[in-house]
A and B are shown apart, each in its own frame.
Chain A
Amino acid sequence: MALDPAVRSAFEQVLEPRDVISDPVGCRAYECDGLTGYRVTPELVLLPRDAAQVAAAVAVCAEHRVPFVARGAGTGLSGGALPVAEGVVISLARLKRVLEVDPVNRRAVVEPGVTNLEITAAASPHGLYYAPDPSSQQVCTIGGNVAENSGGAHCLKYGFTTNHVYSAEVVLPDGSVVTLGTDTGEQAGPDLRGVFLGSEGTLGITTKITVKLLRTPETVRTLLADFPSVRAAGDVVSDIVSAGIVPAAVEMMDTLAIEAAEEAVHAGYTVGVPAALVVELDGPVEECDSQFEQVKAICEKHGCTRLHIAGSPEERAAIWRGRKAAFAAVGRISPDYFVQDGVVPRTRLAEVLDRIAELGRDAGIRVANVFHAGDGNLHPLVLYSAALGETERAEKLSGEIAELCVEFGGSLSGEHGIGTDKACSMPKMFTEDDLAVMQRVRDAFDGHNICNPGKVLPTPRLCGERPGKYEPHPLEESGVIERL
C-alpha cells in the first residue's frame, strides 16, 4: 500500500518540494543504517532545513498516522534508523549548526545533525571539549548520540551521553515542541530528559541539544602494553581498579583485532601478542604522574612483555587510531563479520572470554575481541565467510555470545543499542512485565505508535512467538496500554 498522495503534498507544503524525496532510487539509499542486514525502503525521505520544518513534518505524520523514523548520519549498529514500510524517514543531516558555545557556563547548544567531533572542534578554542567519544565520533551526530545514549572509550571516567546533556528541544510524536531538561542538574519533577536519552528515537525527535563541556585535561598519559595472555591483561584492569584509580580509558584488543588494526593503520601495535591494553589517565599533572607510576608497576607485575608510553600527542593519536580503526579494519582479515556489543561485570571478563573462545572453537569460527575492558563492554567480532557457507554457524555463535553476556549478569548492549537487531532478545534480559512497563512509557509519548515503531521492544511481527506465556495485562484490558 503506497502513501496517500495527499500526504505527500502535505509534506511538500511544509517543506520545500525538492526536500521531499520520493524518487525510489534515492529512497533506497536510506533503506539501512550501519547495520546493513536489515533493509526497508521508506515511502519518502524528508530533508527539513530547520527545527520548525521538523515539527511541521511530524505534525503531518501525526495527522495522517504516518510512521516516521529519524535519521542522523546512519552509523548506528543496531538498525535503530531502519525505515518503516509505508513510512517516512526524517533526515536531520541538514540541521547542523553549532548555535552557541558558552565558555562561561561551559556548554554548547547545537542542532542534532552536528557531529560529535564538531562540538569539540567548536569548543576547543575555549580550552573545552565534549567528553563522550564513540569510535565513530568524526561522523556520528549528536542527535543520534542522544537517541542511543552513546558511550565511547572515555565513558569509564566521564560517563555517557546522558551525563552530558542538560536539555533537549524535542518534537513529540504529536508534532508539539517541548524542552526536556533544564539548564542545570536540578529538574522540576521526574527526569524526562533522562528517559528520552537512549530511547532510540522512539519517543520523539531532538531539534536542539544543550551539552555540557568539560575543560580539556591538563595532562594526558597513555600507554600501550602487551601481555602474554588475555587473563593477565584482565588482571591488570582489576588491580588498577582495586588501587582506587579511575583511568580515563582502559581498552583491550586480542591477537586477531591487533592484526587487523595494524594492517589498516600501522599504529605500532605488536602483531602476534595475545593481548594488548591501552590505558589512559588524565587530569591535573601531579595526580596523573603519581597514578601513572602505579599503573606501570601493575603492568610489570603481571608480566607485560612490552610497555610503550606515548611520548607525544602524535604517538597518542596513533595508539587511539589503532584502537578506533579496529572495528572496520576487521573487514581486512575476514570477508564478513558480525559485531556484538554485550556487557559483563568486569570481574567476570576473563571467564566470559574463555567461554567465547570455547564457543568459537566448537563452531569452527574465529572471534576477534576489541573491548572497553574498564567497563566490561565486549565487542566480539565473529569472523566468517558467507561464500564458504559459514553464515548460519556464525549467526548462531553471535547470538550465543549475546545471551552469554546476559547469563553472566550483564547486558545485551553497552552502546550500540537494541534497535531492530536485538529487540527479539530483550525477553532474555527482561520479564514480560518489565517490557510492558517500558511500553507504557512509550505510549505516554507516542499514543499512536508512529515514532520509530518496531524498535527496542519485541513485537510479535518481528520476533514471532515470544517466549513465555501471554497474559493480557490489566492496563491492556482497560485500554490504557496496547501491545503491538
Chain B
Amino acid sequence: MTTPAGSAESKLPQTAPSSFDDHHPPERELLDDCVHCGFCLPTCPTYQLWGEEMDSPRGRIYLMDLASKGEITLEGSFQEHMDACLGCMACVTACPSGVQYDKLLESVRPQIERNVERDRSDQLFRDAIFALFPYKRRLRAAALPGALYQKLRTVPAIRKLAEKLPGRLAAMESLLPPVSVREAFARLPVFTPAVGSRRGRVALLSGCVQDVFFHRVNEATVRVLAAEGYDVLVPRDQQCCGALELHAGREAPALERAKREIGVFETLDVDSIVTNVAGCGSSMKEYGHLFADDPAWADRAAAFSARVRDVHEVLADGEPRAERHPVRGRVAYHDACHLGHAQKVRAQPRAVLRSIPDLELVDLPETELCCGSAGIYNMIAPEAAGELGARKAANVRSVNPDVIVTANPGCLLQIGKHLGADIPLLHPVQLLDASIRGVAVPRT
C-alpha cells in the first residue's frame, strides 16, 4: 500500500478479544498516550542492564497494547517482562508525553496475579514474602535470630517455603537487617505535643518494616515534627498500608489494608497524614484512584489521599523553626524512586537538608536510576537487583560522601548491602534531628 510520507496509521488494529479480563484492564487512552519515542529508555533500570526492548517501558507498553488487542496472551513472555519491571517509575519522569506508566502497571499486575498461574516455587516464595512483610508482629519475631525457622513456621506459607525451598527462605532472611530486640519492640508515643506555638497537627504512619527495623527513624521523625511546631499523633491500631502488595499486583489484600488504614486515620482531626516512607506515601496517595469506581469508598479514599504528605513536604512548607546546629560534611542525597519519580518530591528533601548549617549537599550521578530495592524486587530478582545495587554503590562512592541519606527503608537496606559499613546510611530526618538536638550524627 502506498501511504503519503509521514502518515502511516500508527495504532495497532484490534484482531481478537483482549487478553485482559474486564476488571480494570489497562485503559485504552493511557496506552494510546505512548508515541513510542523512547525517551524512557535511558532511565529504565532493566533496559540499562539488558538492553532489550521488551524490558523497557516502551516495550512493556507495546506488549500491554498487543495483549489488549488480543495478539498475545498474558502467560509466559508477557508475564516475565512485567515481573522484571522494578516499578521505579523513572520512565514517568522521563516521558514528555505524560504517559502514566504507573497506572498501566498498576492495572496489569493484578491481571497477571488473577489470570496467570505462577510457577510453583515462585508462588511459594511470593506467598511467604506476603505472609511476613506486612505483619509487624511477625517481622518483630523474624528480627530474632533463627525465628523464621522456629516461631514463624506456624505461618503456613512460611512453613511450606521452609519445607520445599529452604534455600530461598535463607536468602530472604539474609536480607533482613540486624536490629536490637529493644528497638524491634519499641513503640512510639500516641501523642507528642508541638514544641512552642502549634503550627499544625499531623498523624504519622509508623509503617511495618519501618517501625520494626528503623524505629529510630520514626522516633527522629516524631521529634523533628514536634520541634518544628506540629502535634504528632501515632494511632496505635494502624497496620500495613498495603504498598508492597499493591506494587506486586496483589490487589485484593492491598485494598483491604487500604480500607483499614482509611478507617483508622479518617476520623482524626489532623491537617495531614504524614509518612517518612517513600513507598507507603506513593501508595496512600493512590488510594483515591484505586477506589475511584467503588461508590462506597471513592469519596473516603479521595479525602484520605488528599491529606497524605511525605514528611519532607511538611518540613519544607514553612520557614524552619527549631534552631539548627552545624553538621559538617558531604551529604549525598539518593532520590528514592517512590518519592522522586512517583510523588515528584525532589526539591523538598534537599531544601530540608540545606537548612542545616555547614552541610554540603551533593547529588549522585545517574540519580534517576533505581538502586534495585524496589519493594520485593531484590528478593524475587536478586541478580538484577544486585547489579543495580552495585552500580548505585559505585555512584555513591564516586562523590566521596561522608553520609548518604535516603527516605525509604528498602533503599537503605539495598544500598547498605552493596556499600558496606564505612559510609553511614541514614534517613534525612535523622540528620535534621541530630542538627536540631545538637548531637553527633548517628552511624545507623
Residues in A lying within 8 Å of B, measured CB to CB = 21, 23-26, 28-30, 32-39, 45, 47, 73-75, 78-79, 91, 93-94, 96, 113, 115, 136, 138-140, 264-265, 325, 327-329, 331-332, 335-336, 338-341, 382, 386, 391, 394-396, 398-400, 402, 412, 421-422, 424-425, 463-464
Contact = CB atoms under 8 A, between A and B. Distances in A.
B132 to A, nearest CB: 33
Nearest to A420: B8
A286 B9 CA distance: 51
B94 to A, nearest CB: 8
Contact of B39 (A328, A332, A382, A391): A328
B443 interface: no
Interface stretch (B51-59, B155-163, B316-324, B408-416): B51-59
B42 A30 contact: no
B54 A29 contact: yes
Given A47-B51, A93-B47, A424-B2, 6 more contacts: A29-B52, A139-B37, A139-B41, A265-B96, A340-B5, A395-B7
A331 B5 contact: no
Contacts of A463: 2
A160 B199 CA distance: 58
B2 A464 contact: yes
A24 B81 CA distance: 13
Given A25-B76, A28-B72, A332-B97, A386 B11 contact: yes
Contacts of B36: 32-34, 36, 74
Nearest to A93: B51
Contacts of B58: 74
A37 B1 CA distance: 12
Given A28-B63, A325-B96, A331 B8 contact: no
Given A36-B10, A386-B9, A399 B4 contact: yes
A137 to B, nearest CB: 10
Contacts of B9: 37, 386, 391, 395
A417 B367 CA distance: 34
A69 B209 CA distance: 49
Contact of B51 (A91, A139, A332): A91
A331 B97 contact: yes
B4 A139 contact: no
Nearest to A113: B51
B383 to A, nearest CB: 13
Contacts of B81: 25-26
B38 A136 contact: yes
Interface string B68-104: 0001100011100100000000000001111000000
A445 to B, nearest CB: 25
A394 B7 contact: yes
A79 to B, nearest CB: 8
Nearest to A118: B42
Interface string B5-39: 11111111000000000000000000011011111
B100 to A, nearest CB: 12
Nearest to A33: B36
B130 interface: no
8 shortest A-B CB distances, which residue pairs? A399-B4, A37-B8, A93-B51, A25-B77, A328-B96, A398-B7, A29-B54, A395-B7
- Interface centre among A338, A391, A425, by most chain B C-beta atoms within 10 angstroms, is A338
A26 B54 contact: yes
Given A421-B5, A464-B2, A139 B39 contact: yes
B4 to A, nearest CB: 2
B431 interface: no
A331 B98 CA distance: 9
B52 A332 contact: no
Of the listed residues B7, B38, B71, B98, the one surrounded by the most CB atoms of chain A closer than 10 A to its CB is B7
A72 B38 CA distance: 11
A264 B96 contact: yes
B174 interface: no
Contacts of B39: 136, 138-139, 328
A425 B36 CA distance: 24
A36, A340, A394, A402: residue with the most chain B Cβ atoms closer than 10 Å: A36
A265 B2 CA distance: 37
A370 to B, nearest CB: 13
17 contacts: A29-B53, A32-B36, A33-B36, A34-B36, A36-B10, A36-B35, A37-B3, A37-B9, A264-B98, A327-B37, A336-B10, A338-B6, A340-B5, A340-B6, A341-B6, A398-B5, A424-B3
A30 B38 CA distance: 12
Contacts of B78: 25
Given A26-B54, A332-B98, A386-B9, A396 B4 contact: yes
Given A26-B77, A47-B52, A329-B97, A339 B6 contact: yes
B8 A38 contact: yes
A137 B392 CA distance: 24
Contacts of B12: 39
Contacts of B77: 23-26
Contacts of B52: 21, 26, 29, 47, 91, 93
Nearest to B75: A25
Contacts of A391: 9
A88 to B, nearest CB: 14
Nearest to A96: B51
B7 A399 contact: yes
Nearest to A321: B96
B128 interface: no
A398 B71 CA distance: 30
B299 to A, nearest CB: 29
A45 B3 CA distance: 27
B185 interface: no
A34 B40 CA distance: 13
Interface in B85-131: 95-98
Contacts of B429: none
Contacts of A34: 35-38
B66 interface: yes
A396 B2 CA distance: 11
Contact of B42 (A91, A138, A394): A138
B135 interface: no
A412 B5 contact: yes
Contacts of A396: 4, 7
B72 A402 contact: no
A219 B412 CA distance: 42
Contact of B5 (A39, A335, A399, A464): A399
Nearest to A138: B42
B291 interface: no
A400 B4 contact: yes
Contacts of B66: 25, 28
B287 to A, nearest CB: 26
Q: Which of A32, A33, A331, A424 has the largest count of B CB atoms less than 10 A from its CB?
A: A331
A289 to B, nearest CB: 32
Contacts of B6: 78, 338-341, 382, 398-399, 402, 421-422
A19 B7 CA distance: 34
B111 to A, nearest CB: 16
